[in-house]
Structure 1
Amino acid sequence: MPETSLFQSFFLIFSGAAVLASLALYGRQPLLVAYIALGVLFGSSGLAIVDNVKLMAEMSSIGIIFLLFLLGLDMQPKALISVMRKATFVGLISCGLFLGLGYLIGWMFGFTPIERWVIGMAMMFSSTIIGIKLLPTTVLHHKHLGEMMVGLLLFQDFVAIACLMILLSGSTGAVDFAQLGISFAALPLLIAIAWGGVRFVLQPLLTRFDRFHEYVFLLALGWCLGLAELAEIMGLSREIGAFIAGITLATSPISQYIALNLKPLRDFFLVLFFFSLGAQFNLDMVPQIALPAIVAAAAVLMFKPVVFRYLLGQQSERKILAWDLGFRLGQISEFSLLIAYLAMSQKLIGSEASHLIQATAILTFLVSSYIVVLNFPNPIAIKDHLRRD
């Protein structure tokens, strides 16, 4: 069978997504379910008609970058500094608890000590895509909720970077603490570069040429992707670079125009993300990891909302807001998938542990999406009274 071209892959993914999304809406189901199901159907474990899944996965990561950039555009720097004070305490305690939860699950099912720690690492993080995509921005109290969520997700990003560096040094048997320190020291430098770039380059250009809408669009894209790549070079993550690119541009009068015009591009890449998530999963591993994956997913879905509710309640958050945030963060993350892939490539974990993390991610993505879509205000709610853009 000839290799599927890029155009054919796009045709199959987006035409198929349109069909399944229509069926999902008729059946009153979240759209994310349709995208993941399509990936399983067309991927290597299904009909195997989209064979360049790795390319799709790489392209889909751009959607996460745009998501963080748009998030930064909607947040003022002063608000972020304020919320990070709360997020640090909640993030430290919750990461420790979820690390222990993953280790315990790994021990229960006979995984090796290293595999238990890697499973624990994967449990620490919540999905930026699920959390932010399902968050309304037009309701006043959800703006505060969004700020708190971003603070927690950013804190988790820093922890994830540390975990990835530890895994990268796993083949040598020693953690490179010097490199770890350099990466975190690079953050203030990246912020300074971003602030200077906006102040002395972007603002004058936008002031002079803001009537050329195509130019504004291109300048925003270049700024977002350029700072994301610079962050990667400096040892941080592209996601952090994109968020800093957005938040430094948030004070510009034209920031909301940029945000509005980039949303369709973001959604294009996010469809690819959820498709590739389903397409890369090996169904042949299901019998081996079904029970531990169900146990792990159930533990995450029950434990995470309770932990966040209690910790945020200690931070003077209103009870209803604390539960709202807890359920929105009640899954594991796309970072968890990266941890599974990296740990397996470093031969720190086996295929069974890697697929356990992948299956837990898919299960928690799906169930958590259902919980939020059916019970909390969100942009894709099936019930009219819950739909908020």
Structure 2
Amino acid sequence: MHDLIRDITLCILFAWAIGLAAHFFRQPLILAYLVAGFVIGPYGSGWVKSDESVSTISELGLIFMLFMIGLEIDLKKIIRAGRVILIAAGVQLVGGCVLGAAFFMAIGLKLGGGGFDALYLAVACALSSTVVIVKVLYEKRELDTLPGRITLGILVLQDIFAILFLAVQPSLDDLQIGVVLLSFLRVGALVATALVLSRYVLPPLFHQIARQPELVMLGALAWCFLIGEIAERLHLSREMGSLVAGVALSTFPYALDVTAKVTTLRDFFITLFFVGVGMTIPVPDLATVKLALVIAIFAVVSRLVTTFTPLYMMRQGLRASLLPALNLAQISEFSLVVLQTGIAANHITKETSSAASFAFVILAVLSTFAMVQSDWLTRWAIPLLKRFGLRDLDHGQGGEAGHDAGHGAARRIVILGFFRTASALLSQIEQQNKELLDQISVVDFNPNVYRTLAARGQHVVYGDISNVDTLVHAGVGNAEIIILSVPDSLLKGANNEKLVRHVRSINPTAKIISTADLLRDVEDIYAAGADYVTVTRISDAHALYEVIEAVDQGLLEAKRAEMDMRLAERREVLP
């Protein structure tokens, strides 16, 4: 027991120390934890030698990590997932597994006869890293963009797929229809038990202890390990049970409160898990490095093929098809979970798992840089893809736009970029001066915006507003009023100051209306050539002050009724 406490102490100290270095060098923390485990583990310095300690630390971390993953799975979002996300995720998962199994068998790995290395690697390569992707998209403020939503939707469905695989995994040695059905029945019994308890037993209990943070946290842990033990009794696994416990808990009213209170424990146990995985990684030989590189290359290529293809076939445009493929081009931390269960069941060799772990590290680093530079990569790749004959949504409109621009038939008002403010503006114009819509042209590269506006009969040009050629072909040179309403935080490849300069160079006489995120940007945008700059925080503040006045005058209900009526009358593209 004393050795275990000492080993956990070493894990945390080295994870923290190497994590600090990773933070300063802008590397993923997961990479730091793996390195820390390798340094102190049996294949590094040997400070942690006990197989029992390594196994216990890894299992504890794995149980709690899966519990937290379950807590963050939003079943409502899965149910509401659109056709595009469902089809893209289905093709990506099935296609990735089929291609993976065929490829890894072709290079000599086993599939059957007691060895399932090819199957486990296929599944591992079909899953993407939630930790890496969400962190980068959050920092880039792209979670709420169309490619961001597609990426997150596919990630959630990948987690569901992993749950199903973990249900079948214990029966791979005797994979018969009856055995598989029995596994699913056991999972069904576990899920039903967890859902019933979380629906009828947990809410009143948590209601009583809601104001006792330590009891809420303790209750969440008790729930996690209880369902884990039930799963173990059903001949599944504690890890599977902890995942189901998290998913069941995510459906009841106190889920957000529980998640907030166990976040610190989540970080602690996730750290233990990845340090534990790092301790199992041996010093790589040449064969392991070669296999790791092959796995990494296959993961990237297969993700591009299985993600880009269905999105492109569903006419999402080259950009919205490429970005999710780039975002998803790595191996998941969940893949390490799958591989660990494979080792525990003697389904795969430690050499295979080690190679996959190295591939995970390689892609965690490279994909972070690729995602940060994804806009530049897509701008480079799109012209190349067009040369190979792939058509974008702007196919056939360039000549028409150019013709309009050359003959003075361009719209009087051009809206560059289409987000919520532009959506609200079109709805306002539709209510107050519908005839003005015929004089408006919208330029944007969101395929949903393009299709919705085209279906409504609104003139729309598909294109990247940071590209000068797009501005010229869109008729900016002949417009009288040019509106830039997208904030800098959402613009890709430019900002409002640069856009104003480009627009002013193309059209010296137009009235340019721009927006500013920060007060200090206003003067720079005016200096660039804008005629009027809006600052949305000012109009928001005015609206909030009116609400405060309504409260003081006892007129809040009337104010709300007025707002409800105004909202009911609107028909926006981006609700």
User: Against the structure 1 CA distance between its residues 260 and 147, is the aligned structure 2 distance closer, same or farther, given a 3 Å change threshold?
Assistant: farther
Give the corresponding residue for 1:322: 324
Q: Distance in 2 between matches of 1:72 and 1:218?
A: 17
Secondary structure of the equivalent of 1:28? coil
1:214-229 matches, within 5 Å, as 214-229=214-229
1:124-139 matches, within 5 Å, as 124-126=122-124, 131-136=129-134, 139=143
**Cα contact 1:157–1:240 (8 A) shared by 2:** yes
User: Against the structure 1 CA distance between its residues 140 and 76, is the aligned structure 2 distance closer, same or farther, given a 3 Å change threshold?
Assistant: same
User: Against the structure 1 CA distance between its residues 325 and 66, is the aligned structure 2 distance closer, same or farther, given a 3 Å change threshold?
Assistant: farther
Give the corresponding residue for 2:171: 165
User: Against the structure 1 CA distance between its residues 39 and 249, is the aligned structure 2 distance closer, same or farther, given a 3 Å change threshold?
Assistant: closer
Give the corresponding residue for 1:382: none
Give the corresponding residue for 1:103: 105
**Cα contact 1:149–1:325 (8 A) shared by 2:** no
Cα offset, 1:134, TM superposition: 2.3
1:20 to 5, 18, 21: 18
User: Against the structure 1 CA distance between its residues 47 and 123, is the aligned structure 2 distance closer, same or farther, given a 3 Å change threshold?
Assistant: same
Cα offset, 1:113, TM superposition: 6.8
Deviations along 1:274-307, whole A, 9 cap, x unmatched? Answer: 2222222232x61454433433333234333432
**Cα contact 1:67–1:129 (8 A) shared by 2:** no
1:226-237 matches, within 5 Å, as 226-237=226-237
**Cα contact 1:301–1:330 (8 A) shared by 2:** no
Deviations along 1:100-155, whole A, 9 cap, x unmatched? Answer: 1111122xxxx667589622112222389972222438633546633421212321
Q: Distance in 1 between matches of 2:70 and 2:282?
A: 35
Q: Distance in 2 between matches of 1:339 and 1:72?
A: 21
Q: Distance in 1 between matches of 2:127 and 2:111?
A: 30
Letter in 1 for 2:351: L
| Higher alpha-carbon deviation: 324-333 or 356-365 | 324-333
- The answer as to 2:368 corresponding to 1:373 is yes
Give the corresponding residue for 2:338: 335
Q: Distance in 2 between matches of 1:376 and 1:176?
A: 42
1:11-160 matches, within 5 Å, as 11-83=9-81, 86=87, 87-106=89-108, 114=112, 118-126=116-124, 131-136=129-134, 139-141=143-145, 142=148, 145-160=151-166
Give the corresponding residue for 1:172: none
Q: What TM-score, normalized to structure 2?
A: 0.55
Q: Distance in 1 between matches of 2:268 and 2:257?
A: 19
Secondary structure of the equivalent of 2:328? helix
Secondary structure of the equivalent of 2:123? coil
**Cα contact 2:229–2:238 (8 A) shared by 1:** yes
Give the corresponding residue for 1:308: 307
User: Against the structure 1 CA distance between its residues 146 and 56, is the aligned structure 2 distance closer, same or farther, given a 3 Å change threshold?
Assistant: farther
Give the corresponding residue for 2:295: 296
Give the corresponding residue for 2:247: 247
Q: Distance in 2 between matches of 1:213 and 1:196?
A: 24
Q: Distance in 2 between matches of 1:190 and 1:313?
A: 39
User: Against the structure 1 CA distance between its residues 130 and 320, is the aligned structure 2 distance closer, same or farther, given a 3 Å change threshold?
Assistant: closer
Give the corresponding residue for 1:356: 351
User: Against the structure 1 CA distance between its residues 65 and 309, is the aligned structure 2 distance closer, same or farther, given a 3 Å change threshold?
Assistant: farther
Give the aligned length.
358
Give the corresponding residue for 1:201: 201
Give the corresponding residue for 1:10: 8
Larger radius of gyration: 2
User: Against the structure 1 CA distance between its residues 32 and 249, is the aligned structure 2 distance closer, same or farther, given a 3 Å change threshold?
Assistant: closer
User: Against the structure 1 CA distance between its residues 60 and 312, is the aligned structure 2 distance closer, same or farther, given a 3 Å change threshold?
Assistant: farther
Secondary structure of the equivalent of 1:46? coil
Give the corresponding residue for 2:524: none
Deviations along 1:207-265, whole A, 9 cap, x unmatched? Answer: 23312222111111111222233234334444443333233333433211211121221
Q: What TM-score, normalized to structure 1?
A: 0.78
Q: Distance in 2 between matches of 1:287 and 1:153?
A: 33
Deviations along 1:1-22, whole A, 9 cap, x unmatched? Answer: xx97122212222212222222
Secondary structure of the equivalent of 1:91? helix
User: Against the structure 1 CA distance between its residues 161 and 55, is the aligned structure 2 distance closer, same or farther, given a 3 Å change threshold?
Assistant: farther
Secondary structure of the equivalent of 2:124? coil
Q: Distance in 2 between matches of 1:163 and 1:244?
A: 16
**Cα contact 2:126–2:303 (8 A) shared by 1:** no
Q: Distance in 2 between matches of 1:227 and 1:249?
A: 11
- The answer as to 2:251 corresponding to 1:256 is no
| Higher alpha-carbon deviation: 74-83 or 183-192 | 74-83
| Higher alpha-carbon deviation: 310-319 or 362-371 | 310-319
| Higher alpha-carbon deviation: 198-207 or 319-328 | 319-328
Letter in 1 for 2:342: I
Q: Distance in 2 between matches of 1:228 and 1:258?
A: 18
The unaligned stretches of length 5 or more in structure 1 are 170-174, 378-384
